[in-house]
Amino acid sequence: MSEALYASRRRSNVIVMGLCYAATAFGLGFLALILGTLFWRGLVGLNLAVFTQMTPPPGSSGGLLNAIMGSLLMTSLGVVIGTPLGMLAGTYMAEYGRHSRLASIVRFINDILLSAPSIVIGLFVYEIMVAPMGHFSAIAGVVALAILVVPVVVRTTEDMLLLVPTSLREAAAALGMPRSHVILRVAFKAARAGLITGVLLAIARVSGETAPLLFTSLNNQFWSSDLNAPMSSLPIVIFQFALSPYADWQQLAWTGALLITVTVLALSIVARWLGTSRTAT
């Protein structure tokens, strides 16, 4: 009787644990497959022309230069606008309003914005910028990206400032430092690596964003650095080229996808490395 019970318990344990192994193999296998395909098909088309030539018309060869530059420009401007706003908001929540009602509401809303559909942000920016201005523009794309940067930076700034020991702040305050100096010169300095991590994560998050750019910055087949005109970007070019029937374009789409993925992975790895090196000291 009890022998049978033991056997059945052992059997169900083996079955379920086997399923867990299978789930891990399944999940990691698929993810490895995606990355493998991406490198395989992306590397084939990777050459100097990708970085030196403009996006081609169908049927001829070319590169991704205007898309790469557009992405770099819009992402960096978006981060430059979004980061200070996010850091200030995060500072308020961690330093001034730690237990206030406002801070807890902002935290809740911020967490929702963190995973809100980015296409809706695109619609929002279309409504407030593209429609009144009457045309698509890079600056609208920048605003859309900045709105996506803010929640990421708010979250990490708050988390990192909360890690700074209160005794540091008290020591600085005891020396007669005003509150703003305590925060900027002591707390920020102590949390510096973490704050940089947050910014890197935000860059990683927005550099692959496609949906919010679809109807803000649109696309531009040519070189443009005019913020008031449509601008090309890597994700949009990938979207357009991948769905086209032309082999040249599809190849460029794979190469562009590889570039984005490598950038995002590199940024996340550096961010992670900064984060752990901070906790180690």
Q: Which residues, 22 to 41, sit near another protein by CB under 8 A?
A: 22-24, 26-28, 30-31, 34, 37-38, 41
Q: Check if the beta carbon of residue 157 is closer than 8 Å to that of residue 90.
A: yes
Minimum Å distance from CB 207 to another protein? 8
Q: Check if the beta carbon of residue 267 is closer than 8 Å to that of residue 76.
A: no
Q: Check if the beta carbon of residue 258 is closer than 8 Å to that of residue 35.
A: no
Return the range that interacts with another protein (CB under 8 A); candidates 11-19, 48-56, 71-79, 189-197.
11-19
As a whole number of angstroms, the distance between CA 195 and CA 181 comes to 17
Q: Quick one: 10 or 52, whose CB is closer to another protein?
A: 10
Place of tokens 């279309």: 126
Looking only at residues 172 through 211 of this chain, which bind another protein when binding is defined by CB under 8 A? Answer: 178-181, 183-184, 201, 204-205, 207-211
Looking only at residues 93 through 132 of this chain, which bind another protein when binding is defined by CB under 8 A? Answer: 93, 95-97, 102-103, 105-106, 108-113, 115-121, 123-124, 126-128
Tell me if residue 178 falls in helix, strand or coil. coil
**DSSP line for 52-70:** HSPPPPTTS----HHHHHH
Tell me if residue 198 falls in helix, strand or coil. helix
Looking only at residues 45 through 84 of this chain, which bind another protein when binding is defined by CB under 8 A? Answer: none
As a whole number of angstroms, the distance between CA 114 and CA 154 comes to 10
Is 247 one of the binding residues for another protein (CB under 8 A)? no
Q: Quick one: 37 or 47, whose CB is closer to another protein?
A: 37
Q: Quick one: 14 or 171, whose CB is closer to another protein?
A: 14
Is 214 one of the binding residues for another protein (CB under 8 A)? yes
As a whole number of angstroms, the distance between CA 222 and CA 167 comes to 56
Is 16 one of the binding residues for another protein (CB under 8 A)? yes
